[in-house]
Structure 1
């Protein structure tokens, strides 16, 4: 999860050392990247992170809900604990962080922006072994994005909300996973991939729109991708 204002960015993750490594690489750039260690499935960790931001930084203008996970846990054979891990992070963690960000923006009269990192799997169930519960969690993100947009409108708030739905992206959830089977390696070798920089560019694009312009949904796919090639 990422919180941001013009002069700072706060990265929140279980592996906060990775954010700290990025902060070192960006030390000669404008602004500052801070790191907070937190488990985004735990409400107390999320509340502590927002409190730290409030006590040490300026009010939040941007929230990027980019924490997520998958699981090889289909609906007919999967384990309940695996399903729960997916929904706790992809749906409940996103919802709790969104609630806290909106509170800050309302209190400080900020016309902010909330971005949910979704997936093409949040718009179509993939005929791909394993990700059935993952698809369900991302369909929830699609619904929550529109629900949030409507709630903000009902309250007269000018906070923007965007769902960013990538196709196949090089990551530890896909072809960079450390425990890939030979079968999955062979499958991935035939697929086109986006890079993380492509998704970052899409987020920047959504954030750069004029104040009166909102992009509710932004779908990004690599050229040549077939929908059921993706997770």
Structure 2
């Protein structure tokens, strides 16, 4: 981990849940974190939890907006010099059906918001982060926070288009790895796919009390593990589930 001490990590969706856990975990490991979210106040509160040599800086960004993402990364490059690590974590999960087959169909606006945040935002941020890494000749690391729902369709219909967006993240990660390999670029890309996590998004566990769940800190520790690999090693995919979790 020594190579990352003092470096800059951008963490999207850092205002709560997995994102806030990653922001604090990285800062405690000596990494300077720029936490992006539509709400910056909760990120400011995280500063009091930092006990390591790193830091947390909050900045407003709506990753579903191409203009907002471009302006944010321009500010990051001008202020901090280089994006060394990107954690694409921002995501939304809306409960309800895709169609009117049931009585809980989600709106078209919700469908668009899920795809824009979970998939489009991930792609846009990765493009800007990799451009920053390349312009600074730094072999950085892009970590996409995926989901087990990005690898198989859970039996619960509550996952609706969320599953589609996470399958997209799986495909994007694989495609990006291929592209970088084609050009002999040593920037690493990893998809981290948690099972149930104890966050506000966890609507399934909320209605299934006997299901174990991971903590945001567990995902942060997994990301730090991914970063700790030597320059010649890349973990393409890391799936994490709590002990005794059964297939959803």
Same fold (TM over 0.5): yes
Instruction: Choose from 203, 212, 222 the match for 2:232.
Output: 212
Give the SS at the match of 2:208: helix
The equivalent of 1:61 in structure 2 is: 84
Pair 139,18 (structure 1): closer, same or farther in 2 beyond 3 Å: same
- Cα offset for 1:7? 5.0
Bigger mean CA offset, 124-133 vs 59-68: 124-133
Output the CA distance in 1 between the equivalents of 2:54 and 2:87: 17
Whole-angstrom distance in 2 between the partners of 1:200 and 1:7: 13
Superposed CA RMSD: 1.9
Matched pairs, number: 219
1:25 is the counterpart of 2:49: yes
Partners of 1:29 and 1:201 in 2: CA distance:
15
| 1:164 equivalenced with 2:203 (yes/no) | no
1:10 matched to 2:38? The reply is: no
Deviation at 1:24, TM superposition (A): 3.1
C-alpha distance after superposition, 1:131-177 (max 9, x if no partner): 121111100000000000001111221000000000000001115xx
Question: What's the CA shift for 1:75?
Answer: 2.5
- Secondary structure of the residue aligned to 2:72 is helix
Secondary structure of 1:131 counterpart = helix
The DSSP-based 3-state class of the residue aligned with 2:158 is coil
1:201 aligns with 2:221: yes
User: Which residue does the alignment assign to 2:246?
Assistant: 226
Contact 2:193 2:239 in 1 (8 A): yes
Q: 1:176-231: CA deviations, max 9, x gaps?
A: xxxx9xxx74x331110110111100000000000000000000001111121xxx
1:106 offset after TM fit, Å?
1.1
Query: Take 1:7 and 1:68, find their aligned partners in 2: how far apart are those partners?
Result: 23
What is the 5 A alignment of 1:127-166?
A: 127-166=155-194
The answer to whether the aligner puts 1:93 opposite 2:121 as a matched pair is yes
What SS does the corresponding residue of 1:223 show, helix, strand or coil? coil
Length-normalised TM-score, structure 2: 0.83
TM-score (norm 1): 0.89
User: C-alpha separation between the residues in 2 aligned to 1:69 and 1:227?
Assistant: 22
Q: Contact 1:125–1:132 at 8 Å: present in 2 too?
A: no
SS at match of 1:9: strand
**How many Å separate the matches in 2 of 1:25 and 1:198?**
16
Q: Distance in 2 between matches of 1:170 and 1:110?
A: 35
Q: How far, CA to CA, are the matches of 1:215 and 1:23 in structure 2?
A: 30
2:147 paired residue number: 119
Gaps of 5+ in 1: none
Q: Is the 8 A contact 2:96 2:157 kept in 1?
A: no
Q: Does 1:81 align with 2:109?
A: yes
**CA–CA distance in structure 1, aligned partners of residues 77 and 212 of structure 2:** 42
